[in-house]
Chain A
């Protein structure tokens, strides 16, 4: 590969230079708005814009003391935990027959499972609104929002766990059966530990998606606020650095969780290797 890069013609080198500059611009385009958002949350200027009149944590302090923010945070976390639990359980259960059973119309079923991700969230939101209020006559609450978000997050868990199961060496299970393990023991001692990283990654993913979800929640949560809904209602009255502070914290939380979700499989592999090495040593 290295020699291939070295033998580029002059024209090739010019193309590479231009495209690299272009790519750099793309990265600037992608990160500039987010960087500004965070920057202004530390800016003393109370209009949330340039010039930077001084560095301050006032807006964070204000956000921490705002009871509306407290309410929104606790609702958001409660909803996200329920969504995570539901989608991890439902998604993992569904991944098994999707990969392992002799399924007629496997592709069709797979597409139905993926459909909630593919269609605009707006459609999920309004159709559930009609079901809950028009057909069931339920009162909207954080619980109805949990159902709506779960419809949207479960497919991600199904995809992640199914991918892991697909690459699963079934010989391990047969070996366990030969050694006398029954179906439950095989599941508990062999299969689950091996697919656990995918389940945990899926759960973290669902948690993050739930933290940030707006449109489905907007329709289904009734009089309550999650953080995105709170930010949205504040934006209607104009930009304030306090919203920037709340937004920056939400951003930090989701990036942290995603980082863990992506790094987890590798972390688990590494720790396991360390443990094995420690045992053999």
Chain B
């Protein structure tokens, strides 16, 4: 009698433990995959950025030398600011182009056509990223379509090299790559807007543009911020676009990182990678408040 009385709570605890195990056991593979192969490496990168490379091998010797080295080389610092600048311009352009499009789609397009038209925007986005960058070579290159066209119309009689291998080309291709992201996010928040409010504002004498900027834009702010974040973050870490269409004039920080790692300077590469991460954290911190509302995910 006394034995069972003592064993009862123990058994209950065991049942509870078993229950918890079966409840959370589904996480186990994900914890291995994303813990061991995602979070741990990120931690290691942080360590590496504070270690030293001597004769191509990493020495566990704590130092801030990698960062001070990065900031002591003028070309690196200017590349870093150029990257931020290119990312800001590309993000702004992608969203400025996406806004009228999302507005058109949610206001003037009949409901049954909206989804197919939206899918049509996303299709290029889900086709290969490398190919979309590559396809611009056939347009902007020396023998590219643009030069052919200019020669054909007689505007110029020899191929111009100025379309490729500089920042404008990088920005153009980045806008092309990330426009669908912006359009999708903006659409999902404009779609829920009550157009009667705009009509009411215009009945009260507001011009259409005033009505849009004072009534519509403030209400879809979370959507705009999500779009900014989702475009800005991947752009900041771009490697392929500047590599293929940017040439020496369009180098971004992603190219520096790859060069560091390819020349076995792991610790310097780690520091440069963390600079990207720092910008991302900064961006998220600035927009933290707007992101904490569920609205921001377009749910």
Contacts and interface: CB of A to CB of B under 8 A. Distances in A.
B62 interface: no
B177 to A, nearest CB: 10
A251 B131 contact: yes
A119 B24 CA distance: 26
Interface string B255-298: 00110010000100110010011001000000000000000000
B37 A130 contact: no
Contacts of B143: 47-49, 239
B103 to A, nearest CB: 7
Given A90-B29, A231-B130, A19 B254 contact: no
Contact of A131 (B29, B41, B128): B41
Contacts of B179: 26, 29-30
Interface string B60-104: 000000000000000000000000000000000000010011011
A125 B8 CA distance: 52
B128 A254 contact: yes
A87 to B, nearest CB: 9
A120 B27 CA distance: 24
A61 B161 CA distance: 32
A165 B273 CA distance: 37
Given A131-B40, A151-B37, A26 B101 contact: yes
Interface stretch (A94-102, A168-176, A189-197): A94-102
Interface residues of B, number: 77
Contact of B145 (A36, A97, A120): A36
A214 B23 contact: no
* Interface range on chain A (Cβ under 8 Å from partner): 35 or more
Contacts of B240: 214-215, 232
B42 interface: yes
Nearest to B243: A232
Contacts of B213: none
A93 B34 CA distance: 13
A12 to B, nearest CB: 9
A247 B131 CA distance: 7
A215 to B, nearest CB: 6
Contacts of A232: 130, 240
A154 B29 CA distance: 11
A205 to B, nearest CB: 9
Interface stretch (B9-17, B134-142, B215-223): B134-142
Nearest to B97: A26
A119 B273 contact: no
A247 B137 CA distance: 13
Given A49-B144, A127-B45, A96 B26 contact: yes
Contacts of A86: 33
A151 B145 contact: no
B206 to A, nearest CB: 13
Contacts of B135: 33-34, 36-37
B110 interface: yes
Contacts of B234: 120-121
Contact of A235 (B28, B126, B134): B134
A30 B180 contact: yes
A208 interface: yes
Given A33-B136, A231-B131, A247-B128, A126 B273 contact: yes
Contacts of B40: 131
B30 A158 contact: yes
Given A49-B138, A130-B41, A212-B130, A120 B237 contact: yes
A215 B257 CA distance: 12
B128 to A, nearest CB: 4
B180 A123 contact: no
Given A29-B176, A254-B127, A126 B23 contact: no
Interface stretch (A66-74, A109-117, A265-273): A109-117
Interface in A135-167: 135, 147-148, 150-151, 154, 158
A219 interface: yes
Contact of A130 (B44, B132, B139): B44
A253 to B, nearest CB: 9
B201 interface: no
A77 interface: no
Contacts of B270: 126, 130
Among B38, B100, B120, B258, max chain A CB count under 10 A is at B38
A94 B31 CA distance: 9
Given A126-B273, A151-B34, A235-B244, 19 more contacts: A5-B110, A20-B104, A33-B132, A33-B176, A34-B127, A37-B131, A50-B149, A86-B33, A89-B29, A90-B29, A96-B26, A122-B276, A127-B44, A150-B37, A212-B127, A215-B240, A231-B130, A239-B141, A244-B138
Which A-B residue pairs are the 9 nearest by beta carbons? A120-B237, A127-B41, A33-B135, A94-B30, A19-B104, A212-B128, A131-B41, A37-B135, A93-B26
